[in-house]
Amino acid sequence: MKRHRMPDIKEGGVNVTPLIDIVMCLIIFFMLVARIGVSTGAEKMAIPETIQGKKIDDMGNTLTLNVRPGPGDQPFVTALVDGQPCQLVLSESRASKSTPSLVGVLSAMQKKNPEFKAIIRGEKDMQYKYLEPVLQSCSQAKVTKVDFNTKVVVR
């Protein structure tokens, strides 16, 4: 009976083709699951400074509300709703398809996810009268978790 033996290696190296295939699969996997460049809806504004505070790590269940002084005593509120930046109105009567109401958007998000929280970003020198209606809207929508975005200053 004749024995078969392994053929001689003529290359003298390691075949790296399977390694390249695995690396390419890992690159594609991490590109799909990574949250690179995900917008939170935060607009550029001068936010208040604070000495105390805590870092918000979980941004997955949040809606960032940008609050600025508006015409009269009403605030100008914008947010990223369904991936599109839009203005939110405070009164249900002035709401439309292009400008939804703040209470309606908050209520819908609260129903989808009970762990939902709102992050309020206000201008640095804004008066409280513009922030109060936004907080009342959060209360009407039964949002129990509300955070304020500030800039931490180390002293």
What was the pLDDT predicted at 21?
92
Output 56 or 24, whichever has higher pLDDT.
24
What was the pLDDT predicted at 34?
77
Q: What's the pTM value of the predicted model, to 2 decimals?
A: 0.66
Task: Look at residue 77 and tell me if it is in a domain.
Answer: yes
Count the domains in the chain: 1
pLDDT average, residue stretch 104-129: 86
What is the helix (H) or strand (E) element at residue 121, kind and residue range? strand 117-122
Q: What's the chain's length in residues?
A: 155
Q: Which residues pair with 18 in a beta bridge?
A: none
Output 106 or 42, whichever has higher pLDDT.
106
What was the pLDDT predicted at 26?
93
Using CA atoms, how far residue 22 sits from 19, 35, 94, in Å, is 5, 22, 55
Task: Look at residue 107 and tell me if it is in a domain.
Answer: yes
Task: Look at residue 40 and tell me if it is in a domain.
Answer: no
Task: Look at residue 10 and tell me if it is in a domain.
Answer: no
Task: Look at residue 43 and tell me if it is in a domain.
Answer: no
Task: Look at residue 117 and tell me if it is in a domain.
Answer: yes
Max intra-chain CA distance, the chain? 101
The CA distance from 66 to 103, in Å, is 15
Structural domain containing residue 126:
49-152
| 3-class secondary-structure state, position 25 | helix
Nearest to 154 by CA among 52, 47, 54, 55: 52
Task: Look at residue 103 and tell me if it is in a domain.
Answer: yes
Task: Look at residue 74 and tell me if it is in a domain.
Answer: yes
